[in-house]
Amino acid sequence: MKSIDKLKRLTGESVSPKPENERPAVPPSSEKQFRIDDLRRRIDGVVARSAARARAAQDEARARGNRALCEVLEGEERENRHGRFFLAGGFLSGASRHGHRSILEAFDIDMTAAGMLANNPVLGAYHPSDALFLDTETTGLSGGTGTMAFLIGLGWFEEGRFHVRQILARDFSEEPAALACLQEIAAQKKFLVTFNGKAFDVNLLATRFILNRMPSSLHELPHLDLLHPARRLLGHRLENCRLATLEADILGVEREGDIPGWEIPQRYFDWLRRRDPRLLADIFEHNRLDVISMATLTAHLVDLLNARALKQHAHPDDYLAAARLLLKKAPIASVKKILELLGEDACAGMSFASKKKLANLCKRAGRLDEAVRLWRQIIERNPRDFYAVSELAKHLEHRARDYARAMALIETALAGGNLFSEEEKDSLGRRLKRLTARIQS
């Protein structure tokens, strides 16, 4: 019995039962033997012919699928020295809108701010047209060497338009040609923009280059991975930080009939078997929108850093987060614009926690008046807030030198039922003692 039939039995699959007369009871006569041999030859011939026919049918289905692909999608078959692949492409004019924005707004992003988002100041020396936006569609999400990027979506700014190119490996065998095409385009660009590309897309592509024994400089390019700054600036008010969520809640992009991400690998496997281009059309559209959204998301994040985002699309807490990011990487002066924006009106509706963060920022940026105003606002609502009380008392003691008011502040806080920890009580008590001494001296 063939091993594979044994295997099927082990895995509980049905196997056609053994033919009853597997071995003839008596050795066949020579004439019989001849007839059997002849029959065998004929059967072999039929089998070989039908195998050849099956192969031919497969080739034909493949060719038919490839032709149909060109009819359904705007693209064509290309060839390079690694073989053939399919390249779709188009562009958006500057005036086209994508959610709240026009593509035009993404053309001249401030590269210094982009460098801060990427945590890589090198970007500051580049131009927005040096960016290569990249997003892949893959055969799985598990990572590892067995996952392939079958569709590589690319985007860049050129002559007032946003260009999108989508490289499709119509079969595994087309992967080297597809990767070579990617490499060729990437060689003309200076940095990458992705969404979660550091952990996923670029990693995966690096693996595919190695597996195909092809050199690649992709992972050496400076890389702005939008996931991390987006989480930092906007994560506080989002359910999760997926690109789709950002589109819906921040960028105002609505997708209709979008294919869910988890369906994509199976669609591609189905394409490999059925060669029906409609299976892929949705994936191309999904990928194209992802690439475009990355461009407008970049613009939005840069605007937050530069305090230029439209009021109705930005939340005061977004700016707060932006200011905190700036303070880590840039001179204090850089947060000035944001703090100005977060004036009295803007922060009226802020939570206590946000107000505290803002007060801290103001203090660090030397905008003491604003900090004092915020501390007072907090104390007005809660005279026993440890942070605000001690900050304001510190200010009164060291800057305003108004010891009496500082003392009054602390005494009010300590009086009656408070929820201070022992440590906090100690700290306030020490300050009170010092103030008493200062007044008496």
Partner 1 sequence: MAKLTLDEWIARLKKNKSFSANAAAVVEIPARPGDWEDYPSWVSPHLRDVLVKRGMERLYKHQAQAVRFIRGGRDVVLVTPTASGKTLCYNLPVLQSILDEPETRALYLFPTKALAQDQMHEAHGLITDLQADIKTFTYDGDTPDDARRAIRRQGHIVVTNPDMLHAGILPHHTKWQKLFVNLKYVVIDELHIYRGIFGSHFANVIRRLVRICRFYGANPVFICCSATVANPREHAEKILERPVALLDKSGAPAAAKTFVLYNPPIVNRELGIRQSAMTPARKIASDLIGNHIQTIVFATSRLNVEVLTKYLKDKFVKTKPLDDHFVTGYRGGYLPNLRRDIESGLRTREVMGVISTNALELGIDIGNLEACIMAGYPGSIASTWQQAGRAGRRTGRSLAILIARSNPLDQFIMENPDYFFSLSPEHCRINPDNLLILLHHIKSAAFELPFEKGEKFGGENLEEFLQYLEEKGVLHQSGDRWHWAAESYPADEVSLRAINPENVVVVDATDAGNHKVIAEVDWDSAFTAVHDEAIYMLASEQYHVDRLDLERKKAYVRRVDADYYTDAMTYTNVRVIDSFDHHRTGGAIVEHGEVQVVRKVVGYKKIKFYTSENLGYGDVNLPEKDMHTTSYWFTIPRDRLRTLDFTPAEVIDGLSALAYTLQHLSAMFLMADTHDIDRSLGDKSGEWFVSQGKTGRVITSFSGGRPQAASGPDGARIDEFDPTIFIFDAYPGGIGFSELLYHEHANLLSAARSLIEKCPCAFGCPSCVGPTLEVGKTAKAIVPKIIDLVLNQ
Interaction site with partner 1 (CB under 8 A): 1-4, 6-7, 9-11, 139-146, 148, 171-173, 206-207, 210-211, 265-266, 269, 272
Pairing of strands 75-80, 83-93: antiparallel
Token code pair at residue 72 = 């359904």
Q: How far is the CB of 193 from partner 1 (least distance, A)?
A: 23
Cβ closest to partner 1, residue 121 vs residue 261: 261
Cβ closest to partner 1, residue 148 vs residue 413: 148
Q: How far apart, in whole angstroms, are the C-alpha atoms of residue 215 and residue 154? A: 19
Question: Can you give the chain as a three-state secondary structure string?
Answer: CCHHHHHHHHCCCCCCCCCCCCCCCCCCCHHHHHHHHHHHHHHHHHHHHHHHHHHHHHHHHHHHHHHHHHHHCCEEEEEECCEEEEEEEEEEECCCEECCEEHHHHCCCCHHHHHHHHCCHHHHHCCHHHEEEEEEEECCCCCCCCCCEEEEEEEEEECCEEEEEEEECCCHHHHHHHHHHHHHHHCCCCEEEECCHHHHHHHHHHHHHHHCCCCCCHHHCCEEECHHHHHHHHHHHCCCCCHHHHHHHHHCCCCCCCCCHHHHHHHHHHHHHHCCCHHHHHHHHHHHHHHHHHHHHHHHHHHHHCCCCCHHHCCHHHHHHHHHHHHHHCCHHHHHHHHHHCCCCCCCCCCHHHHHHHHHHHHHCCCHHHHHHHHHHHHHHCCCCHHHHHHHHHHHHHHHCCHHHHHHHHHHHHCCCCCCCHHHHHHHHHHHHHHHHHHHC
Q: How far is the CB of 370 from partner 1 (least distance, A)?
A: 39
Residue 248: count of CB within 10 angstroms of its CB:
16
Q: How far is the CB of 133 from partner 1 (least distance, A)?
A: 24
Q: How far is the CB of 135 from partner 1 (least distance, A)?
A: 19
Cβ closest to partner 1, residue 271 vs residue 319: 271
Cβ closest to partner 1, residue 155 vs residue 176: 176
Cβ closest to partner 1, residue 33 vs residue 266: 266
Q: How far is the CB of 82 from partner 1 (least distance, A)?
A: 13
Do 406 and 412 form a contact (C-beta atoms < 8 A)? no
Q: How far is the CB of 428 from partner 1 (least distance, A)?
A: 38
Cβ closest to partner 1, residue 91 vs residue 268: 268
Q: How far is the CB of 25 from partner 1 (least distance, A)?
A: 17
Cβ closest to partner 1, residue 65 vs residue 265: 265
Cβ closest to partner 1, residue 129 vs residue 173: 173
Q: How far is the CB of 50 from partner 1 (least distance, A)?
A: 15
Q: How far is the CB of 265 from partner 1 (least distance, A)?
A: 5
Angle, vertex CA 403, rays to CA 400 and CA 405, nearest 5? 90
Side chain identity at residue 1, one-letter code? M
Q: How far is the CB of 10 from partner 1 (least distance, A)?
A: 5
Cβ closest to partner 1, residue 171 vs residue 402: 171
Cβ closest to partner 1, residue 10 vs residue 26: 10
Residue 152: what are its φ and ψ, rounded to 5°? -115, 115
Cβ closest to partner 1, residue 98 vs residue 208: 208
Q: How far is the CB of 139 from partner 1 (least distance, A)?
A: 7
Among 367, 356, 343, which Cα is nearest to 389's? Answer: 356
